Amino acid sequence: MLRLACFVLCTTTALAWGPHTEIAQAALDAMGPGDPLAKHLGADTKCLAQYVWMADWRQQLLVRADEVFYSDDVLIFPAAAKHFQHICPEVRQTYAPYFRRALQALRTESPRNAARWIGSLIHFTTDTGSPPHALGILGPTHSKMENWLDAKLIHIPGYKPQLLGMDDAAAEAGFIRRMEGLIEFSKQRAERCRADVDGDRRALVEPVVLESALETTRVTADLLHTLGVLAARSIGDASLSGQIIAPKTNHPTLSRLPVKIVLAGTTFSTLSEAGGSFAFHHLPAVEFRPVISTPGRVMELPPVKLAAGAAMRLDSLDISKDTAGNLIRNPAFQLRWVSAEGFDHWNRRKPPARLAGASPQIDWEGEWIPLVKGITYQLSAQWQDAAASGEDVQIFIRTKARPVYESPPGESAALTPGSPELRITGTAEVAWAQVIVRTRKSPETVIETIRFHSVP
Ligand SMILES: [Zn+2]
C-alpha cells in the first residue's frame, strides 16, 4: 500500500515538464510592461507565472492568501467539457477552444479571471513544446527528456513578439499554425536526443531540450502579445453586473469561495470578487439567462435583455439562507451549463474495471472539500427513488491527505437508500473529502439532493 502510494506520487512529479514558470516569465520579460496584455492585466500579469500550471491542478481547490477557487471553473466549459491530455496528439484539441475562451475572458471578465483562463491556455501551449509531449513518448524516457535542462537558462532577450493575426479568426488560425510549427520543432529535438536520453548522457541532452524550451517561450510570447492586442477589439458594448451574498458556512476555506455566475446557453461565465460582486463587460446586446452557483445552492435568475451600450446592474441578491451548511456545489444535479451529458461541478469517470458490468456504471466525482482537523462532517441524501437499491446507486466519500490530483485516496462505506447518514472526522490523513455517486442510472433520477456539512 505504502509502496504504491510512493510510486504514484513519484510518477506524478516526474511527468511534469519542469519549466512552465520560467517559460511564462521569460515570455512576459520579452514582452515588457508596455505590451498591451501587461497593460490590460495590470498587477495580475505576474499571476501568469503561476497560473501557467493550471491544467496540472485539475480537480483541485486552489487555496492562497488572496484567493480560493476550484481550478475546474477555468478548465471546464461548454466548448471543453472534459479534461484533455497534455500530450500529442490529444493536446491539439485544446488550442482553439481555450484560445477563444481566454480572449473572451480578457474582454468580458476581471483581469484576475482573465489571467486564470490564460493560465489554462498557456499550460497546454507550454506542455506541447516539451520534446516528449510533441513526439508523444511516455515512460522513463519522457520524464528524463523533459526535465534534463537548466531552467535558469530560459530567456529570450531581444525577441520581438509577433502578432499571430489581425482579427480573431486569423489569430486563431495563426496560433494553431504556430503550434504545429512548435510540435515539429520539438519532435525533431526529441528524435535528436532520444538515444542520449536512453544512454544517460545528460550533458548532451540538455542543450537540445533547451532549444525546445526557448522556442516554446517565443511561441508563448507571440500568443500572449496577440491576446493583448485583440482584447481591445470588443464584441459588444453592454455590461451586466451585480452582487450576490453567498450562503454563510462556518468553513474557513470554502467561505472564501467566489460565487460562479454562468450565462446559460453561452460560454460566458465568471467568478465573483471577494465581496460577491461580479461583472461582465463588452457583452453583445441579446437576452441572457444568468445562473448562480455556490456551495449548497444553484439558482436561475430571471432572463435579462441587454440593449446595445446598456450597463445593467442587477439588484443585490441575498441567497445566504436555506443551504443548511451544505458544502457541495450543484448538490441536486440541476446545473448542466457545461454539457447536457453531465452535471457541473461533478466529474464523470468510469469506475475500476472490476466493477464494469453489462450496463455501464459511472462514478460522478464531486469536488474536493478541505476538512478541518477535529471537525466531524456528515453525508446524507434525499432519495428521489427510495425503492432504488444499493445495486443501483451508492454514495460514498473518498479522502486523501494532500490536495494533489494523483494522491491515492481512501474510500468510506457507501450510503444507500436503506442506510442512514455517514460521518467522517478531519485528521492529518483525512484532510480532503470528495463525494462520489456510483450509479448505472442518471443520478438526478435517483437522488433529490446530497448534503455534506459539519456537525457541532
Ligand atoms: Zn501538463
Task: Render pLDDT for 99-115 as a digit per residue (tens, 0 to 9).
Answer: 999 999 999 999 999 99
Question: Final residue of a domain: which of 231, 264, 290?
Answer: 231
CA nearest neighbour of 320 among 225, 249, 226, 385: 249
Strand 287-288 relative to strand 290-294: parallel, antiparallel, unpaired?
unpaired
Same domain, 297 and 216: no
Same domain, 363 and 261: no
Does the pLDDT of residue 97 top 50, yes or no? Answer: yes
Answer yes or no: is 147 within a domain. yes
Output the CA 54–ligand 1 centroid distance in Å: 8
Does the pLDDT of residue 12 top 60, yes or no? Answer: no
Same domain, 284 and 424: no
The whole-number average pLDDT for the span 187-192 is 97
Q: Which residues, including other chains, have CB under 8 Å from residue 199's CB and lie 6 or more apart? A: none
CATH number for the domain spanning 181: value is 1.10.575.10
Would you place residue 6 in the very low, low, confident or very high pLDDT band (cuts 50, 70, 90)?
very low
- Note residues around ion ligand 1 (Cβ under 5 angstroms): 56, 86, 127
Q: How far apart are the first and last CA of the chain?
A: 34
Answer yes or no: is 55 within a domain. yes
The whole-number average pLDDT for the span 155-183 is 98
The whole-number average pLDDT for the span 224-248 is 93
Would you place residue 281 in the very low, low, confident or very high pLDDT band (cuts 50, 70, 90)?
very high
Are 328 and 435 spatial neighbours (Cβ–Cβ below 8 Å)?
yes
Same domain, 227 and 250: no
Cα gap 386→146, rounded to integer Å: 53
The whole-number average pLDDT for the span 263-289 is 95
Edge-to-edge strand list for the sheet holding 447-455:
422-425, 376-383, 447-455
Same domain, 303 and 445: no
Same domain, 245 and 371: no
Residue 168: DSSP 8-state:
H
Question: Final residue of a domain: which of 231, 250, 272?
Answer: 231
Output the CA 85–ligand 1 centroid distance in Å: 8
The whole-number average pLDDT for the span 302-327 is 91
Output the CA 31–ligand 1 centroid distance in Å: 24
Give the mean pLDDT of the chain: 91
Cα gap 312→314, rounded to integer Å: 6
CA nearest neighbour of 115 among 107, 105, 125, 124: 105
Answer yes or no: is 165 within a domain. yes
Same domain, 144 and 216: yes
Would you place residue 353 in the very low, low, confident or very high pLDDT band (cuts 50, 70, 90)?
low
Output the CA 195–ligand 1 centroid distance in Å: 24
- The SS3 of residue 227 is helix
Same domain, 248 and 310: yes
Answer yes or no: is 327 within a domain. no
Output the CA 291–ligand 1 centroid distance in Å: 31
Domain limits at 263? 238-318
Output the CA 266–ligand 1 centroid distance in Å: 27
Output the CA 74–ligand 1 centroid distance in Å: 15
CA-atom Rg of the chain in angstroms: 23
The pLDDT assigned to 247 comes to: 84
* Of 95 and 416, the one with more pLDDT: 95
Same domain, 169 and 308: no
Cα gap 340→81, rounded to integer Å: 10
Would you place residue 319 in the very low, low, confident or very high pLDDT band (cuts 50, 70, 90)?
confident
Cα gap 106→113, rounded to integer Å: 8
Output the CA 202–ligand 1 centroid distance in Å: 23
Answer yes or no: is 336 within a domain. no
299-308, 312-321, 386-395, range with the lowest pLDDT = 386-395
Distance of alpha carbon 446 from its chain centroid, rounded? Answer: 28
Same domain, 284 and 168: no
The pLDDT assigned to 8 comes to: 33
Residue 417: DSSP 8-state:
T
Are 306 and 280 spatial neighbours (Cβ–Cβ below 8 Å)?
no
Output the CA 264–ligand 1 centroid distance in Å: 29
Output the CA 123–ligand 1 centroid distance in Å: 6
Are 432 and 400 spatial neighbours (Cβ–Cβ below 8 Å)?
yes
Specify which residues 402 forms β-bridges with. Answer: none
* Of 160 and 405, the one with more pLDDT: 160
Q: What percentage of residues in the chain have a pLDDT greater than 70?
A: 95
* Of 391 and 270, the one with more pLDDT: 270
- The SS3 of residue 91 is helix
> CB atoms < 10 A from the CB of 146, how many?
27
Cα gap 30→219, rounded to integer Å: 11
On the CB side of 367, how many CA atoms lie within 13 Å of its CA? 28
Answer yes or no: is 144 within a domain. yes
CATH number for the domain spanning 269: value is 2.60.40.1120
Single-letter residue type at 38: A
Are 424 and 377 spatial neighbours (Cβ–Cβ below 8 Å)?
yes
Does the pLDDT of residue 289 top 60, yes or no? Answer: yes
The pLDDT assigned to 116 comes to: 98
Answer yes or no: is 275 within a domain. yes
The pLDDT assigned to 7 comes to: 31
Q: Helix axis angle, 111-128 relative to 202-231, nearest 10°? A: 140
Output the CA 404–ligand 1 centroid distance in Å: 13
Question: Final residue of a domain: which of 231, 249, 283?
Answer: 231
Does the pLDDT of residue 354 top 70, yes or no? Answer: no
Answer yes or no: is 371 within a domain. yes
Cα gap 205→172, rounded to integer Å: 33
Output the CA 387–ligand 1 centroid distance in Å: 44
Count: domains in the chain: 3
Are 447 and 381 spatial neighbours (Cβ–Cβ below 8 Å)?
yes
The owner of cell 509502496 is 3
Cα gap 301→299, rounded to integer Å: 6
Torsion angle in degrees (nearest 10) through CA of 346, 449, 438, 349: -10
Output the CA 67–ligand 1 centroid distance in Å: 22
Same domain, 96 and 183: yes
CATH number for the domain spanning 352: value is 2.60.120
User: 3-state DSSP helix/strand/coil percent for the chain, to nearest 5?
Assistant: 40, 25, 40
Specify which residues 243 forms β-bridges with. Answer: 277
Same domain, 146 and 96: yes
> CB atoms < 10 A from the CB of 252, how many?
12
